Amino acid sequence: MEDLTQEFLAESREGLERMELCLTELERRPEDGELVAEIFRAVHTIKGTTGFLGFGRLQALAHAGESLLAALRDGRVAVGGAVISGLLELRDGLQAILEIIETRGSEGERQTDDDQALIAWMAELEAGRGLHPSQDQVPSKSPGQVAERPVAESLATTEKSAQPHPAGSAGTVHEKTLRIDVEVLNRMMNLVGELVLTRNQILQCAPGDGSFPELARRLNGVTTELRDSVMQARMQPVGALFSKFPRVVRDLAQACGRRVRIEFEGQETGLDKSLLEAVRDPLTHAVRNAVDHGIEPVEERVRAGKPVEGVVRLRAFQQNGWVVIEVTDDGAGISTERVLAKAMERGLVTAEQAAAMTEREVLQLLFTAGFSTAKEVTSVSGRGVGMDVVRMNVEQAGGRAELESRVGLGTTVRLRVPLTLAIVPALVVESGGQSFALPQGSLVELAHVTGAEAETAIERIGLAELYRLREGLLPLVRLDRLLGLEQSTSSAGVAGSAGRERGCYIAVLEPEGRRFGLVLDGLRPPEEIVVKPLSAALRELGVYSGATVLGNGTLAMILDVAVIAAQAGVKPINEETRPAMSTAAQAESAGDETAGGIARIAALEMQDSMVVYETARRGEDGVMRGARMAMPLSAVERIATIPVSEIEYADGRALLQYGAELLPLEDEGELLNAMDARPGTPVTALICLQPREHGVRRVAVVVRQVLDVCPGALLAEDAAICDGPLAMIGERVTALHPGFSARAGTMPARVLEGVA
Amino acid sequence: MRLAPEKFAEAEEIVSLCSLRAGAELFGIDTREIREVLGTSAPQPVPLAPGYIAGVLPYRGEVLTTVSLRALLGLEERSGANCVLVLEDEELGEQFGLMVDGVGGVVTMMPSELAGNPSTLEARSAALFDGVYKMKTGLMVRLDPQRLRPLELARSGLFGAAKQGRVEQFRTTEMK
């Protein structure tokens, strides 16, 4: 019986969701009979099942709705604003009862009067009373008392969604159930079968048996496929999240007296189920903000020469291993002057700081707690809770929130979330002889302090250590000291003791607006780590958010950067009297300082656009693997797709005819060898200008595919980590093509050979 | 705290115990409470964790927090091969590990052979031990996994709290 109820709840909820979508759609296309039929089916199913399960209240309500819908279907009543408002109201009524059933197991006897009012209203609508064709187009004029409820209710949800979700709160049925394509499930079952067979074979495999490597390979293949299909099963289209917004926008637009249309793009973009739930609240908030603050009132839009109807566009897409969800409105935009004035009034920034801030930094202020630029507090939003909660919620999910705005043209709120919570890109760092994983989400930049520079570069006030990062002073936290892993040699606190001669790395981190530098002993190549939860006893320590198994098989603890900042007493930026940093302007002036021997990174040496591409590289073990690499956009002349048949070979060297020129094809990833030799197969090549000792030359670099073009910054070269240059691109450390690093005076010999 | 003799007064059933060693003493844990015995394994130490936590181990896709029996008994950690028993934390429904020097055979005991902890036992041992079996060859201390759970050990406060990293310096300088 319990199972039946659970199934009924999940099914009904889906039905109601569909109903809501159809209703908002119906408002736009009142003549569409299919939509009415669809809604009818949803309500009818609920009514039928409730009778069977014995939920009387639900049945009575569904019955009233059903007969109104039957009248609509038969054309006895015309579709209009009032009817749609009424049906939406009915939907909410049904939903409310479902929620009671879900929490209590029975429908309870509360709010009986409410039901009666609703049922009476349904009957009235069915009788066609109070309906005039002229009113149909004006949806906001629905019968008095009851029609107030959508607004009141949406207010209640605003309050609710403004609160950050307590971690581990009991999920509703909605969050606990998941629909999976039977195909996917079948494939998983097949793979599990395969896994069992392979295990059996391995168990029977005698020691020293020659077939073992083959079995291990098969096991590897099966595991990878199984992981992928489980991940795929967890992926849900973002569209499931978008579906509730037409209603939200409709109700809000009515409450604010605006005319707003909602548009979607990229609903099919997949996102991990758990993350989908995590972005639900921040996204709702962003949409509410767009309607309430973004889109102007009708008169203002007319005055500005814009279409009367405002547009809120929800767009989702994948980029660089992130899922980006944008909420764009074509409203008034945010005036940076007003934001600054407000920030100064609230004492968040000083006048001097304000003068030096870039537009982007000003807009980021909106994410500060207690900041709201609404001219007046409206009933819908603008109570000072808002964007800071959005940011917090998204950061809790391991993502980031950004804001872009053009006065007069509109605002875009961008939520960037990782593809999955379980697998995150992380930096593997070393401290006190142990390895730790540092999620790249809050990593801003990395700096290397060489052994010789360590004494002068790290300055002290009392016991606190500071590092001069451009114009600002960065408070430092030593990871080994924080974790009690300090070597006895340096424990005296004396500067420049023996243990520090090797130099160190400073990871500049900014979790929740607290900016600090974490001093590390060493870096290892970044890895995509699988996050494993910790036991309660270790969670209590706070500094770890989980553990992971590294590529070499050892366990590493994952550092919780926010807790480390809090434990070390790092204050959020706006509370500190930090000198304003205008990154772009000061980056240039700081560029020369690198002569001091400190290799500084990010934003200063090169804030160039990078072409990120996929190729193959030979690892240390001599095996070719897929790799993500980058090259400055300025060096790329053209991205060309050429049929493999156009590549010519002379003297064992691959050449490409490019206009009148003959270009050497550089294929370090040996992609051409691995490629299908049929003449039509396309090859992607970057036609680049490569700096040489005397002038430049053109070269074609064969890549597997071009992934993205985005801003990136060159990292310090360090032979210990990697034998080539590295760049920080979109929060990920990426290897740079060795022939095109920023100051390419020193060219790798093998590239030069090619043209000798 | 439940008292072992009372518990077994009613059911006169044979108990099979897995014998294990830490230092010079012999211990036994009811085989029904052991999920698995992991052979030689070295847990990864966790900085800041209390001293009785030997570290973490990967175990069936989870991270197993491992308690060191030697550390609990106040013995020096020894180098060389250790054994880890996987036990169940009934309260939290998760597993934890117990690191011992080595695991011996399974012995069967009658509940009547179990005696309570001696009243002179010092507090730490009394918190850990769950009575003593009188064997022909000597004594075997009975261990109850529920008393060895990492959270339970932390609650008892007898075995030292989590270590503190050196962060105070930052706070003090800020106040200046």
Same domain, A577 and A630: no
- Say if residues A493 and A534 touch (Cβ distance below 8 Å): no
Cα–Cα distance for residue pair A188/A194, rounded to 1 Å: 10
- Look at residues A86, A85, A101 and name the one whose alpha carbon lies nearest to residue A46: A101
Is A555's CB within 8 Å of B63's CB?
Answer: yes
Q: Read off the tokens for A349.
A: 């920034």
> What is the arithmetic mean of pLDDT over A649-665?
79
Same domain, A506 and A623: no
Cα dihedral B21→B27→B28→B34 (10° resolution): -50
Report CA-CA distances (Å) from A15 to A9, A18, A264: 10, 5, 21
Three-state DSSP class for A401? strand
> What is the arithmetic mean of pLDDT over A342-364?
77
pLDDT in tens, A672-701: 777 666 666 778 888 887 777 666 778 888
Cα–Cα distance for residue pair A480/B150, rounded to 1 Å: 25
Q: Read off the tokens for A460.
A: 């002290």
Is B166's CB within 8 Å of A432's CB?
Answer: no
This complex has an ipTM of: 0.81
- Say if residues A454 and A500 touch (Cβ distance below 8 Å): yes
Identify which of A538, A547, A568 has the shortest CB distance to residue B170.
A568
Of all residues in chain B, the one with the smallest CA distance to A461 is: B173
The minimum CA-CA distance between B106 and chain A, rounded to whole Å, is 26
Cα–Cα distance for residue pair A564/A482, rounded to 1 Å: 8
Is B174's CB within 8 Å of A464's CB?
Answer: yes
Q: How far is CA A542 from the centre of its chain?
A: 25
- Say if residues A721 and A525 touch (Cβ distance below 8 Å): yes
Q: Which domains, from first to last, does chain B contain? A: 4-175 (2.40.50.180)
Confidence of residue A541 (pLDDT cuts 50, 70, 90): confident
Same domain, A431 and A571: yes
- Look at residues A652, A716, A670, A664 and name the one whose alpha carbon lies nearest to residue A690: A664
Look at the alpha carbons of B7, B9, B12, B16 in this order and tell me if their dihedral is positive or negative: positive
pTM over cut 0.80: no
Cα–Cα distance for residue pair A640/A663, rounded to 1 Å: 13
A215 occurs within a structural domain:
no
A345 occurs within a structural domain:
no
Q: What is the pLDDT of residue A462?
A: 76
Interface test with B, best of A535, A555, A557 (most B CBs within 10 A): A535
Chain B touched by A240 (CB under 8 Å): no
Identify which of A462, A484, A535 has the shortest CB distance to residue B48.
A484
Q: Around Cβ B154, how many Cβ atoms within 10 Å?
A: 19
Q: What is the CA radius of gyration of chain A?
A: 30
Cα–Cα distance for residue pair A689/A700, rounded to 1 Å: 9
The minimum CA-CA distance between A732 and chain B, rounded to whole Å, is 26
Residues 194-223 of A with CB under 8 A from B: none
Interface test with B, best of A488, A555, A563 (most B CBs within 10 A): A555
Confidence of residue A8 (pLDDT cuts 50, 70, 90): confident
Three-state DSSP class for A531? coil
Per CB-CB distance under 8 Å, the chain B contacts of A547 are 56, 63
Same domain, A440 and A383: no
The minimum CA-CA distance between B46 and chain A, rounded to whole Å, is 8
Per CB-CB distance under 8 Å, the chain A contacts of B62 are 532-533
Q: Read off the tokens for A316.
A: 């989702």
N-term to C-term CA, chain B: 49
Cα dihedral A680→A683→A688→A693 (10° resolution): -100
- Say if residues B21 and B27 touch (Cβ distance below 8 Å): yes
Residues of B with CB under 8 A from a CB of A: 44-49, 53, 56-58, 61-65, 89, 92, 94, 96, 150-151, 153-154, 162-167, 169-174, 176
Q: What is the pLDDT of residue A750?
A: 35
User: Of the residues A395, A418, A441, which one is the last residue of a structural domain?
Assistant: A418
Give the H or E element holding residue B127. helix B123-128
Cα–Cα distance for residue pair A63/A43, rounded to 1 Å: 8
Same domain, A631 and A566: no
Q: What is the domain-level CATH number for residue A404?
A: 3.30.565.10
- Say if residues A601 and A717 touch (Cβ distance below 8 Å): no
Q: Which domain holds residue A747?
A: 607-753
Q: What is the pLDDT of residue A110?
A: 58
User: Of the residues A573, A596, A619, which one is the last residue of a structural domain?
Assistant: A596
Report CA-CA distances (Å) from A180 to A9, A237, A272, A367, A383: 17, 12, 13, 37, 40
- Look at residues A9, A386, A332, A342 and name the one whose alpha carbon lies nearest to residue A161: A386
Q: Read off the tokens for A93.
A: 């009524």
The minimum CA-CA distance between A280 and chain B, rounded to whole Å, is 29
Q: Around Cβ A728, how many Cβ atoms within 10 Å?
A: 22
A359 occurs within a structural domain:
no
- The lowest-confidence range among A157-161, A278-282, A450-454, A529-533 is A157-161
Identify which of B48, B166, B176 has the shortest CB distance to residue A541.
B48
Q: What is the pLDDT of residue A373?
A: 53
Q: What is the domain-level CATH number for residue A29?
A: 1.20.120.160
User: Of the residues A540, A563, A596, which one is the last residue of a structural domain?
Assistant: A596
Is B164's CB within 8 Å of A557's CB?
Answer: no
Cα–Cα distance for residue pair A708/B64, rounded to 1 Å: 40
Same domain, A260 and A400: yes
A16-19: long-range pairs with CB below 8 Å, 24+: A16/A42, A16/A46, A16/A91, A16/A94, A16/A95, A16/A98, A17/A243, A17/A244, A18/A42, A19/A43, A19/A87, A19/A91
Is B44's CB within 8 Å of A554's CB?
Answer: yes
- Look at residues A376, A395, A387 and name the one whose alpha carbon lies nearest to residue A413: A387
Is A486's CB within 8 Å of B166's CB?
Answer: yes
Is B63's CB within 8 Å of A533's CB?
Answer: yes
The mean pLDDT value of chain A amounts to 73
Give the H or E element holding residue A566. helix A561-567
Same domain, A294 and A411: yes
What total number of domains does chain A contain?
4
- Look at residues A518, A560, A516 and name the one whose alpha carbon lies nearest to residue A542: A560
Is A434's CB within 8 Å of B94's CB?
Answer: no
Asked whether residue A720 carries a pLDDT value surpassing 70, the answer given is: no
- Look at residues A691, A665, A733, A376 and name the one whose alpha carbon lies nearest to residue A523: A733
Identify which of B44, B92, B173 has the shortest CB distance to residue A555.
B44
Cα–Cα distance for residue pair A461/A459, rounded to 1 Å: 7
Of all residues in chain A, the one with the smallest CA distance to B176 is: A462
- The lowest-confidence range among A142-151, A245-254, A261-270 is A142-151
A647 occurs within a structural domain:
yes
Is B56's CB within 8 Å of A536's CB?
Answer: no
DSSP state of A140: T
- Say if residues A68 and A122 touch (Cβ distance below 8 Å): yes
Is B48's CB within 8 Å of A486's CB?
Answer: no
> What is the arithmetic mean of pLDDT over B37-42?
80
Chain B touched by A555 (CB under 8 Å): yes
Cα–Cα distance for residue pair A430/A437, rounded to 1 Å: 9
A353 occurs within a structural domain:
no
Q: What is the domain-level CATH number for residue A487?
A: 2.30.30.40
Confidence of residue A160 (pLDDT cuts 50, 70, 90): very low
A171 occurs within a structural domain:
no
The minimum CA-CA distance between A570 and chain B, rounded to whole Å, is 8
Per CB-CB distance under 8 Å, the chain A contacts of B159 are none
The minimum CA-CA distance between B163 and chain A, rounded to whole Å, is 8
Is B165's CB within 8 Å of A464's CB?
Answer: no
Same domain, A431 and A399: no
Per CB-CB distance under 8 Å, the chain B contacts of A546 are 63
A601 occurs within a structural domain:
no
Q: Cα angle vertex A653, ends A651, A659, to 5°?
A: 110
Q: What is the pLDDT of residue B18?
A: 92
Asked whether residue A491 carries a pLDDT value surpassing 70, the answer given is: no
Asked whether residue B86 carries a pLDDT value surpassing 90, the answer given is: yes
- The lowest-confidence range among A133-137, A282-286, A344-348, A523-527 is A133-137
Cα–Cα distance for residue pair A388/A368, rounded to 1 Å: 5
N-term to C-term CA, chain A: 81
Same domain, A400 and A479: no
Chain B touched by A1 (CB under 8 Å): no
> What is the arithmetic mean of pLDDT over B69-94?
85
Cα–Cα distance for residue pair A62/A60, rounded to 1 Å: 6
With 0-12 CB in 10 A as exposed, 13-18 as middle and 19+ as buried, what is A33?
Answer: exposed
Same domain, A21 and A136: yes
Confidence of residue B56 (pLDDT cuts 50, 70, 90): very high
Three-state DSSP class for A342? helix
Q: Which residues pair with B25 in a beta bridge?
A: B22
Asked whether residue B51 carries a pLDDT value surpassing 80, the answer given is: yes
The mean pLDDT value of chain B amounts to 81
- Look at residues B105, B66, B106, B111 and name the one whose alpha carbon lies nearest to residue B84: B66
Same domain, A135 and A264: no
Cα–Cα distance for residue pair A727/A731, rounded to 1 Å: 10
A383 occurs within a structural domain:
yes
Cα–Cα distance for residue pair A139/A33, rounded to 1 Å: 20
Same domain, A243 and A270: yes
The number of C-alpha atoms within 13 Å of A92 and in the hemisphere containing its C-beta is 22
Asked whether residue A73 carries a pLDDT value surpassing 70, the answer given is: yes
> What is the arithmetic mean of pLDDT over B74-83?
81
Identify residue A272 by its one-letter amino acid code.
D
With 0-12 CB in 10 A as exposed, 13-18 as middle and 19+ as buried, what is A226?
Answer: middle
